[in-house]
A and B are shown apart, each in its own frame.
Chain A
């Protein structure tokens, strides 16, 4: 099995802030993996490093065996964190999906017949055909996620990267999105996502990478979700409640929200 993502000894960060040092990570082709860790631990920075939009201080990043800057555009699908999208921007769902096709060399502003057919086919498959002409702000959380997913999938990428695809939507939509991603993964597309949610998201993924300014552990959730590893990832004292094959991760120090008020 060749690796979809291969990082060796990568150090990256910002001007006065090194986020991770000498990180090595390999994600096999066809995997469905999630990077989990607390907010601010460097998940987005890691994704941007993998995508080649964030420069590395040292080390190398290979995607499908190629250096990241020589990967043809369209070979990687990317869904940004929905919280970072400007929802008042004047675009319809169809215009968002069409942006995925801007990787090709067509210079005319409008879509060709073939492009339009591809957009409509994909929209049908993802169940957002009826809202193609809607402005993005007038769509539901699930439709938004599908619109950006469609933009990422329109070039038939081998690798799909999503930043916090399940945050900011309700539990039902979270499940729909995870199911949809499972189906996409079954079609042979490698999926890498980030999440800070252990219970609703990470524990349902086939492969999890616990991350906090570096890799703490990786494996199947049931193998690596131990008190020790989660405490090292999240920094707090966490307990795992197991019940008939399900588990729930909770904070061991009870919150006293009223204590400061009296």
Chain B
């Protein structure tokens, strides 16, 4: 217990912990939609563009966050424009646009060596560097993004699952996509100084894929992912303190560890379920493993029966 309380005596750690908690849960929520909408690479790219923007903003003597936001927006618009006629796919457009913007930032830094230090935080994340201003920005972004996501739950879920049908059912999918992209950009910029642009993609993805291994229900996945994200942020912070290592890297590693654990648990559960079913049916004919996540469409009456054996789950 002692070793958990000890670092809390330092203000920099309290700031860092609070920031990691907020960023972790924020990435947990938004990451669910990122992986389900197939936008992992968008997140990766936008963070790199934002880094370039932050450097440019800093050099031109206006705000770091404003520069990052402007460049992120510009990147999104450019990618949209390049892919419009269908000749170039979005992953290629993301690759060229955002890496070029990142390169612009790198050039400026390498030319003006005096402020190299402060951008290392933006690249790899740095817990020592969380200022009051950072906390304020992260807090505002987390609160507003979470509120928006909460009230947009229905249109967001429907358009993520089945965009075409969502439109028939009267959901303005274009606006939903636009708002989501804006929230994603905001979240990335807010997370930049905590985990670093090179680590943001994994911070977004890890809690969501872990939650996916734990449940088949969307609403539960969203809740689990938020909790996983928060745990990852906090645990990663302590790890960073104990190991004296970069916070972004420890957060990402801890997230990956949780994912491995969920894979292992699923593997063991499937083995165990198979054994139980063999036992129950008493012969070797029914040897199909149950609870497989991804199957081909077919009739599985056996599966239906065993599921019905379990007490009906009451949702929420």
Contact = CB atoms under 8 A, between A and B. Distances in A.
Contacts of A168: 297
B154 A106 contact: yes
Contact of A76 (B153, B166, B168): B168
Interface in A8-42: 15
A85 B162 contact: yes
B219 A137 contact: no
A144 B169 contact: no
B263 to A, nearest CB: 16
A165 interface: no
A78 B169 contact: yes
Given A53-B164, A109-B150, A88 B217 contact: no
Nearest to A92: B217
Interface in A79-131: 80, 82, 84-92, 94-96, 99-100, 102-103, 106-107, 109-110, 130-131
Interface in B158-176: 158, 161-162, 164-171
A82 B168 CA distance: 16
Given A78-B168, A99-B158, A109-B154, A137 B293 contact: yes
B294 to A, nearest CB: 5
Interface residues of B, number: 43
Interface stretch (B46-54, B121-129, B196-204, B304-312): B304-312
Nearest to B297: A141
A223 interface: no
A210 interface: no
A90 B218 contact: yes
A82 B296 CA distance: 12
A91 B169 contact: no
Interface in B286-316: 293-295, 297-301, 303-304, 307-308, 312-313, 315-316
A140 interface: yes
A91 to B, nearest CB: 5
A99 B169 contact: yes
Given A90-B221, A109-B153, A80 B165 contact: yes
A86 B157 CA distance: 13
Interface residues of A, number: 48
Interface in B190-238: 212, 215-219, 221
Contacts of B36: 89-90
Contacts of A131: 304, 307
Contact of B219 (A82, A84, A109): A109
Residue among B161, B168, B170, B299 with max Cβ neighbours from chain A (10 Å) = B168
A156 interface: no
Contacts of B316: 110
A135 to B, nearest CB: 3
A15 B154 CA distance: 32
A139 B305 CA distance: 11
B294 A88 contact: yes
Given A51-B168, A102-B169, A133-B315, A80 B162 contact: yes
A48 interface: yes
Contacts of B312: 133
B288 to A, nearest CB: 12
A88 B293 contact: yes
B24 interface: no
6 contacts: A90-B217, A95-B217, A95-B218, A130-B308, A131-B307, A135-B216
Interface of B: 36, 85-86, 150-151, 153-155, 157-158, 161-162, 164-171, 212, 215-219, 221, 293-295, 297-301, 303-304, 307-308, 312-313, 315-316
The 6 closest A-B pairs by CB, nearest first: A73-B170, A135-B216, A109-B153, A78-B168, A140-B299, A102-B154
